[in-house]
Amino acid sequence: MSPTIFRAAGYRFFFFSREETRMHVHVVSGDGEAKFWLEPEIELAKNIRLSRQQLKAIEILIEEHNNELTRAWQQHFSS
């Protein structure tokens, strides 16, 4: 199961249900995919085929939606 948290600017932001416990988000688009750690700070963990400009745009979206992502993570993984 990989619930979508939100979509923006052609990117899908989601979690995998059975993965590591450190808070993070996966991002996918037609161009590629990435994984960002959300704690202790927002940091790129993995990148497949996304440009630096795309990664920066994604990081800005993560910053803007950080509270939403944190709440969704806590709700999803507390059950």
Spell out the domain ranges in the chain. Answer: 4-78
Residue 38 scores a pLDDT above 80:
yes
pTM for the model stands at 0.94
pLDDT reported for residue 79 = 65
- 60 DSSP 8-state letter: H
Quick one: average pLDDT of 38-64? 98
Q: Name beta bridge partners: 53.
A: none
pLDDT reported for residue 32 = 98
pLDDT reported for residue 12 = 98
Query: What does DSSP say about strands 4-8 and 32-37: parallel, antiparallel, or unpaired?
Result: unpaired
- 22 DSSP 8-state letter: S
State the number of CA atoms in the 13 A half-sphere of 56 facing the CB. Answer: 3
Binning pLDDT at 50, 70 and 90, where does residue 5 land? very high
Quick one: average pLDDT of 56-73? 97
